[in-house]
Amino acid sequence: WIFSRHIKRQTLGPLKCAATPRKRKRSIIWGVIVLTAVGSGGTLLLSGEKIKWTRFCGSVLKNVNERILTSVIDSDGLCVGLENDWPVYTTVPHHTELSSRVLMYVSDIINFNVNKIWDWLFPWEQSKSDDPWVLLELARSRNFWIRQMGVASLAGKVDWDSYKYRLVAQACDHRTTTALARYPHANDGYFLPQPKLHPSKHSILYDLKEQLSKLPIPPAVNSCIMFYRFISLDHDYLFQRDPLGMEFLTHSYSLPGEDEKKNEQAIEFCLEGIAAYTSNPDYALAFVENHGLSVLQRLLEEIPESWVQIFIVTILSNLSQVSSLLDAIVSTGWINVLRLWSKSSDAALALLALTTLANLDRDWISRDLYQDMVLLHPTQRNSQPFYADVVLVHGLRGGAVRTWRQRDPDADSKPSVISPCWPRDWLAADCPNLRIISIGYTSSLHRWGDTCPYEQEKRTIEGRSRELLKKLQSAGIGSRPIIWIGHSMGGLLIKKILSLGQQESEFSQFTAKTKGVIFYSVPHHGSSVVDVLMYAKYLLFPSVEVQEMHTNSPKLNTLHNEFINYVTENSIPCLSFGENVKTRFGRPLPKILVVPLESSDPGIGKFVSLPDNHINTCKPCSTDDIIYQLTYSFVKNILNQIKR
């Protein structure tokens, strides 16, 4: 009709098809449905979902196909079933017939379910469901973002009946359980308790020694692993009371509580050995295969003390470095224990537990691993994105958490709230777009305090800096701007890290991404305490770390010159604090100015002299303290520049 009237210019009357608008509308609807079906199938194929081809076979749009085959065509008031009167169907306009034939053809190829296609195209609608099975299906999706949507929806369910939480706890996979543990408000019912253990015939000390004896002997004889193994398994060497063989001078009895202290010390050495072993991935696998996690569970049940908890969470942190051990850790109920510890009032225990959970949670945007360091912020999944890293490095005899505590209150002024870690409590709240990491390492003033006399080369400034560089790379440091904060010897380690970054291309990202440095009482030119120890070095046996920090040390002078050149060439802002009060090391000993002002002043950037001793220069007493105010302003200015 269109061809005859408009092309051949013939005189024709109007097209007699009274029902054309309604049927045209119906054709458009069927066309949209077909396009939706084809688009949904393509979306599923591209999303990587595992869908069997049989789901695409059968009938197109099963629900729609049924409607087509049972639909009626209204022609001159006559309603006829499509299956019973095909000739009547052929009398309808050609475009309607064609669309229907296409639908029937595709219906033999694709098995379509409108509800499922709707859920696949719009998974956020499913995430609003109150059905635990629906949310579990989302959490198991092969699509990363759909999985996160399902986990977040499960974590947000706070008013379910208890049986629903228990159902999810028993049905969800280990990956989902770990992800839920990183949401602070997730219900505790999601996490199953540890399974009950069979009673052991031996003491816990015997079982710990048995675990050490089953682990392979390390190839290096003069190593800390071998040292801890030897002293843990050789009871006579550990507790020999008469090394000169003068047994007649010893008592035939033990003092009250002496046996308990010996047993505790033996357990501590065993845990030191296990912690040293599990820092190696191969030995960590062997420890778990020998049912070491069950032994740790029994130890925690028998001795639920804080020092035991710290050792266990350290071992679990080492095990969390190995991705294949996730199933073993979750199935033995340690996720529930770590979550309970993450809420502990002991800041060190809580932060170590949160760091371990972060290591185990590999199904997240950040897949960084934290070894011998503590993640202070962000410790949860539901946190703001971060644009820079703040790396804290403590000094001699310090700790990853202990060094950065709030200053002990005076007798006159006692604050209502004491912060056990001010970078976590104050700096993270004022600058939430930061990732804050604190590095931990063992150190001592003299060799009498060394827990392990071997591997002294790793205790030098260069040796320790190289070890830290590898761990910082595993934690993703260097992928975004860095702000370094160091106290005492920690500042020297920061300078050595930057020096190695300039000299070796493998670590060049650390110098390229550095945006600022803060020093608290750093002995750039040596320490007066070290000079005192060096005078009596044959009596006090100063440690390797101390020997490198004597006044006017050539190594320190060279290191400082390299740092000055780097900061000057790259216009790196620097903020330094110095002490002005002597520090007391013991009642019989005199007070000593640990780092004089001429040594703590780097000669570049802003320098502030504080009326505090060496220990308190990095411990503000409140958010109004000048130490925190200057630190916060320095970090905030750099963060604003990064955002711009």
Query: 351-360, 379-388, 415-424: which has the minimum mean pLDDT?
Result: 415-424
DSSP result, 145-178: HHHHHHHHHHHT--S--HHHHHHHHHHS-HHHHH
**Strand 434-439 to 514-520 pairing:** unpaired
Check residue 545 and give its pLDDT.
77
Are 576 and 601 contacting, i.e. CB atoms less than 8 angstroms apart?
yes
Check residue 71 and give its pLDDT.
39
**In terms of pLDDT, which residue wins out, 352 or 549?**
352
User: 10 Å Cβ neighbour count for 363?
Assistant: 16
User: H/E element holding 458?
Assistant: none
Q: Alpha-carbon Rg of the chain, whole angstroms?
A: 35
Residue 577 has pLDDT above 50, yes or no: yes
Check residue 116 and give its pLDDT.
52
Candidate ranges 112-126, 470-484, 585-599; pick with highest mean pLDDT? 470-484
**In terms of pLDDT, which residue wins out, 54 or 11?**
11
Residue 102 has pLDDT above 80, yes or no: no
Name the pLDDT band for 21 (thresholds 50, 70, 90). Answer: low
Residue 233 has pLDDT above 50, yes or no: yes
Distance CA 118, CA 480 (A): 39
Whole-Å CA distances, 283 to 269, 314, 427 = 17, 15, 38
Tokens, residue 131: 């059905």
Q: How far apart are the first and last CA of the chain?
A: 65
Check residue 240 and give its pLDDT.
52
User: 10 Å Cβ neighbour count for 56?
Assistant: 16
Check residue 247 and give its pLDDT.
43
Check residue 501 and give its pLDDT.
94
Distance CA 520, CA 477 (A): 22
Query: 149-153, 255-259, 272-276, 298-302: which has the minimum mean pLDDT?
Result: 255-259
| Mean pLDDT computed over 72-82 | 36
Name the pLDDT band for 368 (thresholds 50, 70, 90). Answer: confident
Whole-Å CA distances, 615 to 187, 403, 568 = 41, 8, 29
Q: Is 284 exposed, middle or buried (0-12, 13-18, 19+ CB in 10 A)?
A: buried
Give percent above pLDDT 70 in the chain: 72
| Mean pLDDT computed over 274-297 | 95
Residue 145 has pLDDT above 90, yes or no: no
Check residue 248 and give its pLDDT.
39
| Mean pLDDT computed over 596-622 | 94
pTM, rounded to two decimals: 0.79
Are 396 and 546 contacting, i.e. CB atoms less than 8 angstroms apart?
yes
**Strand 482-487 to 388-393 pairing:** parallel
Check residue 374 and give its pLDDT.
96
Check residue 76 and give its pLDDT.
38
Q: CB-hemisphere CA count at 13 Å for 53? A: 1
480 in helix, strand or coil? coil
Check residue 68 and give its pLDDT.
38
Residues near 586 by beta carbon (within 8 Å), at least 6 away in sequence = none
69 in helix, strand or coil? helix
Amino acid at 458: K
Check residue 492 and give its pLDDT.
95
Whole-Å CA distances, 452 to 7, 76, 448, 455, 606 = 99, 100, 10, 8, 40
Query: 557-561, 592-596, 607-611: which has the minimum mean pLDDT?
Result: 592-596
Check residue 231 and give its pLDDT.
86
Residue carrying structure tokens 């999303």: 47
Residue 491 has pLDDT above 80, yes or no: yes
Extended beta strands in 403-509, E state: 434-439, 482-487
Check residue 557 and give its pLDDT.
93
**Strand 514-520 to 72-75 pairing:** unpaired
Q: Which residues pair with 518 in a beta bridge?
A: 485, 575
B/e letters for 374-410, b = 16+ CB within 10 Å, e = fewer, are bbbbbbbbeeeebebbbbbbbbbbbebbebbbbbeee
Residue 54 has pLDDT above 90, yes or no: no
Check residue 31 and give its pLDDT.
67
The DSSP secondary-structure symbol of 552 reads T
Residue 24 has pLDDT above 70, yes or no: no
Residues near 617 by beta carbon (within 8 Å), at least 6 away in sequence = 487, 520, 521, 577, 578, 579, 610, 627
Distance CA 608, CA 461 (A): 26
Residue 306 has pLDDT above 90, yes or no: yes
Residue 627 has pLDDT above 70, yes or no: yes
Distance CA 83, CA 459 (A): 87
Check residue 129 and give its pLDDT.
87
Check residue 428 and give its pLDDT.
94
Chain mean pLDDT for the chain: 80
Q: Domain 193-239+259-363 classified CATH 1.25.10.10?
A: yes
| Mean pLDDT computed over 551-555 | 86
Check residue 462 and give its pLDDT.
93
Check residue 204 and give its pLDDT.
95
Are 361 and 375 contacting, i.e. CB atoms less than 8 angstroms apart?
no
Are 88 and 80 contacting, i.e. CB atoms less than 8 angstroms apart?
yes
191 in helix, strand or coil? coil
Check residue 7 and give its pLDDT.
46
Name the pLDDT band for 359 (thresholds 50, 70, 90). Answer: very high
Q: Which CATH superfamily is domain 371-409+417-643 in?
A: Alpha/Beta hydrolase fold, catalytic domain (3.40.50.1820)
| Mean pLDDT computed over 552-580 | 94
Name the pLDDT band for 414 (thresholds 50, 70, 90). Answer: low
Name the pLDDT band for 457 (thresholds 50, 70, 90). Answer: confident
Are 398 and 490 contacting, i.e. CB atoms less than 8 angstroms apart?
yes
- Angle of CA points 59, 65, 66, to nearest 5°: 115
| Mean pLDDT computed over 51-61 | 39
Name the pLDDT band for 592 (thresholds 50, 70, 90). Answer: confident
Residue 44 has pLDDT above 50, yes or no: no
Distance CA 534, CA 31 (A): 89
- Nearest residue to 73 (alpha-carbon basis) of 49, 44, 100: 100
Check residue 347 and give its pLDDT.
94
B/e letters for 200-225, b = 16+ CB within 10 Å, e = fewer, are eeeebbebbbebbeebeeeeeeeebb
Tokens, residue 413: 């002024």
Candidate ranges 103-107, 123-127, 456-460, 640-644; pick with highest mean pLDDT? 640-644
Residue 498 has pLDDT above 70, yes or no: yes
Q: CB-hemisphere CA count at 13 Å for 319? A: 27
| Per-residue pLDDT tens digits for 202-211 | 999 999 999 9
**In terms of pLDDT, which residue wins out, 49 or 214?**
214
| Per-residue pLDDT tens digits for 150-209 | 999 999 999 999 999 999 999 999 999 999 999 999 999 999 999 999 888 899 999 999
Are 427 and 406 contacting, i.e. CB atoms less than 8 angstroms apart?
no
Give percent above pLDDT 90 in the chain: 54
Whole-Å CA distances, 623 to 351, 410, 431, 596 = 21, 16, 13, 26
Residue 509 has pLDDT above 60, yes or no: yes
| Mean pLDDT computed over 93-113 | 47
